[in-house]
Amino acid sequence: MYKSLLNAFVLVIAVTVISDSVSAQRKLAPHRKANHTTITARSGESLANVATRANISATQLAEANGLEVNAKLRKGQRLILPVEEIGEPTKPSGEIIGKRINFTDGGSIDVDEVWRQGDTTWYRTQGTSQGSSRPIRSIENRYKSVVASAPTPVVADSVKKPAAIVSWIYLNDGARLRVDEVRETGDGAWYSRGNLNIFLDKGRIARIDRDDPNAPASEHPSDQTWSSGNTSIDDLIRKHAAGSGIDPYLVFLVIEQESHFHTHIVSPKGAQGLIQLMPGTARRFGVSKPFDASQNIRGGTKYLKELLTMFKGRVDLALASYNAGEGRVLDFGNRVPPFKETQDYVRRISSRYRRKAGNTSTISKS
């Protein structure tokens, strides 16, 4: 009798232990699937720190790895990143045309093929292969769009489709990028071009411009969208350009090219300030403090006005004179001197001025 009771008691304990074990496995099962992406802990990081870096909640990361939310980690420890299980009740029909890689930092990229080799993810786009070590959240199929037939809408002749806003990213080295869309963040900006999504660090960006073709026209079309990023400098440009009787957008372009809006910059040749006045030119136009933004811009706009008057409104010759000196332009028979630096200078500024300001009558090719 005693032996039978003992056996029954042991059996109850065994069933309880097995039940608890199965229950625990069920809780962990959703996070133990193959092909999980991992993230490596850095020195001194806690689980919460890693979760913030991976852009997921600390609770999710803790559950996926069987750890406490406030757990301390050792340097180099690998943690599983939970992958969201997305059902496909409305899975697109049609042929698969490629893959979409979704990164843990929020970016994504559409590719033709993708494969892994060690810790590196390789992908091919338009015949070009490239490797990436960025942590990946998921990889999904891309399907050929199936457009349902629909009645053709009747559109009145007077209704025009709004033109798309054009975005430009200007870099500190003088280059610029035309992009489809740009989203600014605290550390920089994400931009998309075609099927690429790329991040630019804030330190590389001079400014971002958006040209809206649907914006109402103003008296000075070139004055709509330009900005140095500094309201005080913008106001000084407008004030002194108006005082000298020239387009503020032209002054803006010259300052951008000369100094990228750095007030205390000095060139290797000794030109000073925002609009880069040589000491002799500064004295000639009454600029006693070349690093004072107001005096510097005032002197530069007066000099530009004098050059425009000298060359009868020819913006290209005024710009060439500003870069190389009016004596060089006169020496070459009122033509842009054949110096690469000067020709590049004139081309960069005048092409932007012509396109945005519409002042084609004052810009000639020489």
Each residue's pLDDT tens digit, 322-360: 999 999 999 999 999 999 999 999 999 988 888 764 444
Query: Please, which residues have CB within 8 angstroms of residue 344's CB and are 6 or more apart in sequence?
Result: none
Instruction: Convert the pLDDT of each residue in 125-161 to its tens digit.
Output: 766 677 777 788 888 888 776 555 555 555 544 455 5
Q: What is the CATH number of domain 221-362?
A: 1.10.530.10
Q: What is the average pLDDT across 88-115?
A: 73
Strand ranges across the sheet with 128-132: 113-117, 120-125, 128-132
Q: Where are the alpha helices (DSSP H) in the chain?
A: 2-28, 47-54, 58-65, 231-244, 248-259, 279-284, 293-310, 315-324, 326-331, 340-357
- Is the pLDDT at 47 greater than 50? The verdict is yes
Residues labelled catalytic: 258
Q: What is the CATH number of domain 31-84?
A: 3.10.350
% pLDDT > 70, the chain:
70
- Residue boundaries of the structural domains of the chain: 31-84, 96-143, 168-210, 221-362
Q: What is the CATH number of domain 96-143?
A: 2.30.30
